[in-house]
Every structure is written in structure tokens, then in C-alpha cells.
Chain A
Amino acid sequence: MSEVLTKSTARNIFYGGSLFFFVIFVGLTAHSRHYILTKGTDNAGLTESVERGKRVWERNACFDCHTLHGEGARFAPEVGDVFRRWGGEKDPAGAHQMIKDWMKAQPSGAQGRRQMPQFNLTEAQLDDLADYLAWVSRTNTQGWPPRPKAN
């Protein structure tokens, strides 16, 4: 049989095809990165406080209980839109305070209720975290999560 039917050709087609898809993927990622930094998120409003808030979120592994934009663990509620759910669009200061108060009141100790630990964050860290949650609530998530009319 001719040379071309050999496995080295199979390998080349496999490498070539995969490379083709990977190059497209990288190109689309680059475009998406641009989109995220210009349209998808409030990148202009990404203050130092928001960034510090993200590190608080990461340092305390909040995502290992909560989801954020649907990603993370499913032990505790979604927080990508918690700022909005708690009325942050109309009363930002109120929602900000609610988040801080919530964090300070944990764990609830309520029987049969999942417990959130007390993280002993400083006042500044709590402010940063609340700013971060306000910032992520402004991300364009293509309409997610679904918001059925609550009963």
C-alpha cells in the first residue's frame, strides 16, 4: 500500500486538525477577552477595592461553597447576583451594609440549617468584599440566572 496511508499521515492529519481547532479557539478567546474587558464587564469600574475584594473571595475559598455566575460548589446560594437580589440597584448602600452584616452574623447555629463559618474579616475586608459582589452583579451574563416571577 502506498506511503500515505501510513500512521505518520494519520498522525499528521490528527495534529493538523487539532491545531486548526486550537488556533480558532485561541482567536475566539482573544476576541472574547477584548469583549469582556470592553462590553461584558464593568472593567472601568474595577477599582482597587473590587480587586482586593476578589482576593478576599479567593483567600477564603468562598467558591468552595457558593457559585458565582453558576461556577463553584452548590452547597450555598449563587452570589453573582446577590447584590441585586438584596436591592443593590435601588439602594446600593443598603445592600452593601446587608452583606457586611450577614458576614458578621455567621454561623447562625440554626438547627438543620447549613452553616457558614465566621471568617473574622476586618471592616475594610468586608467593604472590599461587598464592593466585589456589587461589581460582579454588573457583569453581562447573557440573562443568566433565570428570574421567574417569585411567588
Chain B
Amino acid sequence: MQYQTQNIAKTYWLGALLIFAVQVSFGLVGGLIYIAPNLLPVEYFPFNMVRMIHTNALIVWLLLGFFGAAYYLIPEESEREIWSPKLAYVQFAIFFLGGLSAVVGYLFHIYADNARSYLEQPVWIKLGIIVAALIFLLNISMTVLQGRKTAITNVLLLGLWGIAIFFLFSLYNPANTSEDKMFWWYVVHLWVEGTWELVMASVLAFLMLKITGVDREVIEKWLYIIIATALFSGILGTGHHYYWIGAPGYWQWIGSIFSSLEVVPFFGMMIFCFAMVWKGRRDHPNKAAMIWSLGCSVLAFFGAGVWGFLHTLHGINFYTHGTQVTAAHGHLAFYGAYVCLNLAIMTYAFPYLFNRAPYNQVLNIASFWITSAGVVFMTVSLTFAGALGTHLERVQGMSYMDAQDQIGLFYLLRFGGGVVTVLGALLFISSLLLMPRTKTVVTGAIPAAAE
């Protein structure tokens, strides 16, 4: 760690990890309700509340992770301290308490009068999020503007500004449901398949720069190619959400064409990561961080790219829309692209933040395989549930609940995958908190800050 203010990231990431634990636990509760609907009293654990906590906690901790990543990597990239550490902590307090009180409030059925999926936060919490985002952007922009400008900070900043700007659409909720849905996707799609991808690409580029030691030149050119293909396809790719919501039929063409190209940037990221590791001259001691980074690119390619493409063409989506196929895609895409990314940068940075490099990475590496195996197993189970459910309900004409009864086995398997995922997640968290020092120094491992 070269800059004092990189320490800010520690606070953000510890907060993120706490909410990560909440998120996966409630995921498990949701999976349990699927297989044992009478076990938990519906007055206290209605499924909608459980799902709300699961999804909102996910968004909150991923964003906390992104903020942490920004506070960690921007000083190194800009070659100066964060403009105002005090503001950074104020922002953390607002965002973390807002996110936490939203989640706790849901337990008592306190959510927005005009809630929409992912946007259930009461208005005052939404406003808090916006205030926190403004503080963050001010702080980060001032740091970047005064320091060295690199492609990584440029892209990261663009992504973070985009996240804040598109969140403003969460405040717009027209009475016409179809119009409402159209602008709801301005937040949700343009986040996860637009601005978040910019953050992902720039953080991955930073990790590759540090871990592999490949020239900045090479990495930044890759970065531009990846984000260019991401936005050229992703913006009009939004059309794949406009097929059946009351919007014009031409979206079926626009959505199918552009979103089938959304695979390209994810493929590019995967090739990029492997090519960099292959070319890399540096034998970085933090193998765990490298595994998380490579795993991120591979699982994002499959989850966001391949599983997305599976049902993005309008002829297929006509049948699979609104089935568990979407849930399968959602789980692997969020995990691969954004969860792994956050865990990768944390794994990379924690030894520096806690001054423990090198450390014993066995637990951390094990948690990668366990968590990923769990999520992949969940995804496969849900894909079968979705494909079979689609056939029974949408092709054979069985009623919804009858079809659901036929696919109960896959929900049981999904729950099993969920248990493994939660164990993996807890293992990851404890591996970072314990971070045992290794007794034997690996040859070639240099316990100095990278670069």
C-alpha cells in the first residue's frame, strides 16, 4: 500500500462483506421456502420480503465493493491521496446505514409506496443513496482530475458517473405500467449490461496490470476494445427487455440483434485475462487473486454471455420469458461478473491493507472453488427447472402450479447448490478476516507492494 487513504477501502469492504453474508443467507431462506413452503410462517417470512432482501442486499454490497475498489485503486493510478478522506467516511456512513436500514426495514414490511423490483427502497433512502453517490463522485473526480490520468481511471469514472445518473430514473414511476417498465430498465439494464461493465473492465484491467506485470500500453488498448464492444452492443441490447411489455414489435429485431452481440465483450474479457496471465512476466505471490480474476472472466462469459444468449432471441424468449431460465441466467451472471470481481479485488488488496503479505491462501482458494461450484450447480438446476417448466406450461399448456409441482426436484437440487454457495461465501469471509501468515515463503514470492 503506497497511499494512506487507500485504507478507506478497508471500511467499505468490511461493510460489503457483512451485507454479502446477509444476502446469501436470505437467498438460502428463499430457496428453503421453495422446497418447504409451510415450514416458515408466511406472516413473518413471506417470499416477497425474502427476495427483496436477497436482491437489495446484493446490489448494496456490490456497490459498496465498487466504491471500495475505487478508493483503493484510484490513489495508485492517480498517484495521489484521495481528495477528502473525511467525505469518504461520511459517504460510507450514509450509504451503509441507508442500505442496512432498508434491509432491516423490509423485515418489518417497510418499503416504498411505489416499489419496483430492485427499487423497493423508501424514497428517503433513495435520496440518501443519491446524496452518497454525489459525495463519492465529487471526491473521486477531484482526485482523478488533480492526478495522473489513465485509461483505467477514465473508464472507471465514466462507469461510476453512469451508475449515478441512471439511478435517477428510479425516481420516475409513471401510472402507465408499460411506460414504467420501459424506464425501469433504464436503471436495471443500463446498470448491469452497461455502466457496471465499465467498472468491471477497468477493475479487471487494474488487477491484470498488477498481477501479471504486462505493460500498461497493452492493457489499456484491450480495455478500450472491450468497453467499446460492451457499449456498442449493450445500449441497444436493452431492446431484449422490450419484447412483451406493450412496446412496439420492432424491439424484437433490435433486441435480438444487439443482445446476441453482448457476448463479444465478455468473450473479449476472458481472452484478455488469459492472454495477460500467459504473457505476464511477473510471478505474483497472490495466486488467490489471480484465480478469482480468471474465474470472474470465465464465469461472466458463461453467465452473462452464454446463458444470456440462450434466451435472448425473441423466438426463444417468447417461450422462456418469465421462467426460471431467467433466474438461472441472473444467478450466474451476477456471480461471475460482479461478485467474483469484488472478491478478486478484495483478495488482491486485503494483504496490503492489513500488511500481511504473503499469507496462506489455501482457505481463500478453496472458497473460490466451493462458492463457484455451488453457484454453477444452482444455475444448472434452475436451467433444467426453467426448460422443463417452459415445456410443460408454455408448450403443453399445463397450469402454472401443476407445472411447478413437476419440477420440484430441481428446486431441491438448487437448494443444495445454495447451501454449498453459502458455505463457500462464509469460508471466503473468514479467510479474509483470519488471513494467516504463511510460514514458508514461496520461492520467487516477493512480499512487496506490486509495481
Contacts and interface: CB of A to CB of B under 8 A. Distances in A.
A7 B47 contact: no
B48 A35 contact: no
Contacts of B168: none
Interface in A127-151: 135-136, 139-151
A32 B151 contact: no
Contact of B177 (A109, A139, A149): A139
Contacts of B326: 74
Q: Which of A59, A63, A64, A113 has the most CB of B within 10 A?
A: A64
Contacts of B38: 109, 111-113, 115
Interface in B157-177: 173, 175-177
Contact of B46 (A11, A33, A117, A148): A117
A68 B404 CA distance: 18
Nearest to B120: A61
Interface residues of B, number: 71
Contacts of B52: 61, 64
B246 A140 contact: yes
A50 B175 CA distance: 8
Nearest to B117: A63
A36 B235 contact: no
B446 interface: no
A74 B224 contact: no
B224 A37 contact: no
A40 to B, nearest CB: 4
A106 B244 CA distance: 30
A32 B251 contact: yes
A149 B397 contact: yes
Interface in B47-76: 47-49, 51-52
A28 B46 CA distance: 39
Contacts of B239: 28
B220 A35 contact: no
A124 interface: no
Interface in B294-327: 318-319, 321-324, 326-327
B323 A74 contact: yes
Given A17-B232, A46-B175, A58 B116 contact: yes
A92 interface: no
B48 to A, nearest CB: 3
A113 B246 contact: no
Interface in B204-248: 220-221, 224, 227-228, 231-232, 235-236, 238-239, 241-248
Shortest 8 CB-CB distances between A and B: which pairs?
A70-B322, A64-B48, A144-B244, A148-B397, A40-B246, A77-B400, A115-B42, A70-B321
